[in-house]
Structure 1
Amino acid sequence: MAKIAPSLSREGLGLAPSRHGTVTAVSMMKDEGPFLLEWVAHHLTVGFNRLVVYTNDCSDGTDTMLIRLEELGLAYHRRNVIPEGLRPQPSALNHAQDEPLVAESDWVLVFDADEFLCIRYGDGTLNDLLDGVKAQGANGMVITWRIFGSGGVHDWSRAPVTEQYLRAAPKEWNKGWGVKTLFQFDPAHWKLGIHRPKIKNKWLESDFPDSIKWLNGSGRAMEDYFKFRGWRSITRTVGYDWAQINHYAVKSIDSYAIRKFRGNVNLKKDKYNADYWALQDRNEVQDDAMLRYSAERKRVFDLLLSDPELNRLHHAALDRAEARLAEFKGLPAYDEMVAGLKAASQVPIDAVVAKPPQARDPEKIAALMSRVEKQSNETERVARKALGPQRGTGLAEPAAQGLASGVEWVANHEIALPLDPGHFSPSGLEQIAAGKFDRGVARILPRLLQGAARHLELGAGCGFRAAVLARARPVLQQIQQESDPGRVKLIRAIWERNGLEKQNNLTLRAGALDQEALQELIETFRPDSLLIADPALDPQILMQALRSGAPALRLILAGPAMAESQRWQAIFPALAAARPDETQPEFLLAQLARAD
């Protein structure tokens, strides 16, 4: 065994200890020698304190490099012995399920050699990210892919992958929404999976599913369906604010050529064709968040190369890849491939076809669904229906502080709205682009307020409802209240764009309201209609403010407050009993819920 440099222990590398026990990365690799040390250095920097990698049929020394890393105590190498008829990835996960190093882990993330975890939350480490996850009482995070393309790079380079490729697909591009799941692992309850773990059958009808709380990549609670099935984010669950998986599936044309001519981990013979390139070579937007790790990753990478044996193996893998590439470049097949890839790079993003791994069979899925999954899905369906036509707010969380430069504006119900991902969620952006943002509310709200003279809205959101009312009912006096500073700026920008910022009948009240301020506002303004969209507003505070000083009132719930409809309805008997007969409130929840 080669001599071990004393500086190449975890302590010698200066890596911070984990605050969350053993956090393990499980991966499967074949001929990843040129990129292995960058992958290892990056994920040690991010905060994994255990790397377990399975290899099969390597010809470029990847397995030998991992064996050396295990000798140094920096990774663990396992042979992926593949049973007849099984593909390499499922085989590796079966081995990992029984591997003691994985079983004793506190947290596990399964991901590939072309995937790099990028954390935007906190200081960019797993320590801070898991602090945030646990602060919400969660035990997992579903992290969505961000597809990174070639950036127009053709030639092979030894430069780091994470610094060469900084162009990616837009966040709202749903064909790139595959996921990987970081979760608290208990092998008695979970079966490891490529995209998410699977609850073992014997626990499906128990209380165990209720104990699972996973967040999405923006730190918001995932829907319950994902406990049971799925491998992609959907419009309601996608998020990138806390973390993403940077997926470098193609890299440069030359890198792609090396991979194409050597096969792949899942033995898909036709995978690396022009269609796959068109899907993965997405370069529409700049994303350089990964550069936050550059200095520390390089420090760790250079220390790894200070080991003579690792240094020799790393450069041998590079030399081997470059020699193979030199052979390919003289072949007609290489020229044909390059021409095909360059043509595929011109395919517009809205013309890309992504074929699912297998055809969807609704009857088969229904047969596989357990009773507890059906019950869970139905509960969430009812909750979403209660949200009414908005399906939430359509707004991003958290809101940006200002509009992005050069943002496109699109007319929605004659109100121009900005296509700004800093302010609107992916679903909200889709609605805006189609001219259908909050269309149900926009149609019905002016009719609901016929006869009203003074309208107060608590939780104005982006100010769209107010703008629609200002156009449809110009004599209506409005006060719009919004607590979030970023949304206040958005409201002002939208009203200015639509020529409403100087309208005397439209007033914006920025900042939160306590009970005293709310009561004063109601007594002074004396609204005859009140729309509640702020889910943080306490019904008891509003009830106290409405006990006196307000005329007969129409009360309307909208947006996220609709999810709390039962809590709001509960205050109305007490409110009605406290007010004279002639000022009884009229509760319009049901009418607005049918607006779509």
Structure 2
Amino acid sequence: MSDGTPRSVLVACMKDEGPFVLEWIAYHKSIGFNDFIILTNDCTDGTDLILDRLDDMGIVQHLPNPWVIGAGEKTLQSTAIEYAQLQKRFRLADWVFIADADEFLNIQIGNKDLPSLFGVIGDAQAISFNQVVFGNAGIQEFVDAPVTMQFFRRFDFSGDSPRLYPMMFGLKTLAHNRGDIYSRFTNHIPRLKKPIDPGLIWMDGGGKPVDPRFLNSQTRSYPVYMHRSKDPKTGKVQKTRKLYDAGGPTHDLGYVNHYALKSLESFVVQSRRGDAVNPEIRRDVSYWRSYDRNDVEDRTIVPQAERSRDLLEDFKKDPVLGPLHDIAVKRHREIYRKMLKQNKVRNLIEECLAAASGG
């Protein structure tokens, strides 16, 4: 950019996220992301049409995921990320961030935006933020309103909890776009070339250099992680929870608000389409129990959400985007009503309600 501020690109895969796309784009644009590369597959609710319009407006680059035509032998998401790296917007970016449609980067310092963050991280080449899970908070009905202004209960990441919950400390990494350092980009962390550059500065979300052991293993969570090893006698894989030495809190500069469930109605709709990036992931009551974390209240994202409100409203006033958004919202509700006719869906709802009430 002409003012010297680093240029940043946000890459995402999406499938049937129609009611939530405009908020997600408006929010991340308002905190300083310049470019967006969004790849979709098998959309049925108009998500692809919304992104096509945003592409026509010059706000995003929307691409079909080559995976749908059998391009490559990697996973749906890995294929999408590799394809994104071929695009001009990616190549021109100084910084790269890869996130899902239910994740919002929540910067905690200064003006709570990327320029504030870049102003304090110095010469760092990467900063890995924890994914902080926000629970359902007892909200059953899907409402056409910003997710960031509805769900304010999250997992408590303070204290000794890291020893118990590795999955609650997953990572999303804002990485300097350096081909001399990274061999490739992935959903959680970029993969380092070997040998590792001795001058590499990789921070955690608290602004501290990560434990050097993390750089050698590059696990997808921090500071707690799951170590896998084979029993020498039986050959079976053993899983052991371990901790890196983070030397203090890992959330001071920011974290990623992960709205894995949203409303119960939206969760039911999600269970129909499966995971947007991995069709093998099931959205069932076990998933609900794992991610319905409502330990503490957290409204730190509200200033950023309010900052993005005008842009979100401008999107909805667009003669093409507005109706497409409304169609996606209507489709979301129609899918839910249709699914209610299935016994297994009604059972899922009952199971989730029982789990939410401690049953």
Matched AA of 1:263: G
Deviations 1:195-214 (A, max 9, x none): 100023xxx13xx5212101
Aligned length: 326
Amino acid at match of 1:301: L
Q: Structure 1's 52 and 197: CA in aligned 2 closer, same or farther, altered over 3 A?
A: same
**Correspondence for 2:257 among 246, 266, 271:** 246
The reply to whether residue 192 of structure 1 matches residue 185 of structure 2 is yes
The alignment's C-alpha RMSD in Å is 1.9
What secondary structure, in the 3-state scheme, does the structure 1 residue paired with 2:9 have? strand
Instruction: Report the structure number with the largest CA radius of gyration.
Output: 1
Normalized per residue, which structure has more strand? 2
State the partner residue of 1:95.
83
**2:212 matches 1:224:** yes
Q: Residue type of the partner of 1:139?
A: Q
Partner of 1:195, secondary structure, is coil
Is the 1:138–1:213 contact (alpha carbons within 8 Å) kept by the matching residues of 2?
A: yes
Q: Which residue of structure 2 lines up, in the alignment, with residue 163 of structure 1?
A: 149
**Contact 2:181/2:197 (CA < 8 Å) preserved in 1?**
no
Distance 2:124 2:4 in 1: 16
Alignment of 1:180 with 2:172, yes or no, is yes
- State the match for 1:129 in structure 2: 117
Measured in 2, the distance between the counterparts of 1:93 and 1:226 equals 23
How far apart in 2 are the matches of 1:75 and 1:61? 16
Distance across 2 between alignment mates of 1:19 and 1:344? 51
Paired position in structure 2 for 1:58? 43
Structure 1 residues 495-528: Cα deviation after superposition (integer angstroms, max 9, x where no partner): xxxxxxxxxxxxxxxxxxxxxxxxxxxxxxxxxx
Q: Which runs of 4+ in 1 moved over 4 A?
A: 16-19
Task: Report the TM-score when normalising by structure 2.
Answer: 0.86
Q: How does 1:428-443 map to 2 (within 5 A)?
A: none
TM-score if structure 1 supplies the norm length? 0.53
1:244 deviation in Å? Answer: 0.4
SS at match of 2:270: helix
CA offsets per residue over residues 270-297 of structure 1, 9 Å max, x none?
5211111111110010011011123211
Counterpart code for 2:179: P
Q: In 2, distance between residues paired with 1:28 and 1:325?
A: 23
Superposition deviation, residue 36 in structure 1 = 0.1
Task: List alignment gaps of at least 5 residues for structure 1.
Answer: 1-15, 349-596
CA distance in 2 between partners of 1:346 and 1:275 (Å): 15
The aligned residue for residue 329 of structure 1 is: 340
Corresponding residue for residue 30 of structure 1: 15
Q: Does structure 1 conserve the Cα–Cα contact (< 8 Å) formed by 2:154 and 2:297?
A: yes
**Cα shift at 1:138:** 1.6
SS in 1 for 2:301: helix
Pick closer, same or farther for the CA change 1:275–1:159 going to 2, 3 Å.
same
Shift of residue 76, structure 1, vs aligned partner: 1.0
- How far apart in 2 are the matches of 1:158 and 1:109? 27
Contact map agreement 1:34 1:314 (CA 8 A) in 2: yes
Please tell me whether the aligned partners of residues 77 and 278 of structure 2 are also in contact (alpha carbons under 8 angstroms). Answer: no
Give the superposition deviation at 1:67. Answer: 1.5
Partner of residue 138, structure 2 = 152
Distance 1:250 1:19 in 2: 39
Could you tell me which of 282, 285, 296 is aligned with 2:293? 282
**Residue 346 of structure 1: CA displacement?**
4.6
Letter matched to residue 24 of structure 1: V
1:48 aligns with 2:33: yes
> Secondary structure at 2:37's aligned position in 1?
strand
Shift of 1:70: 1.4
Matches of 1:332 and 1:245 in 2, distance apart? 35
Distance 1:17 1:122 in 2: 22
Question: Aligned residue for 1:73?
Answer: 58
SS at match of 1:54: strand
Return the match for 1:116 from 104, 107, 113: 104
Task: Give the helix-richer structure, 1 or 2.
Answer: 1
The residue type paired with residue 181 of structure 1 is: T
Q: CA deviation at 1:328?
A: 1.4
Partner of 1:291: 302
Report percent identity of matched pairs. 29
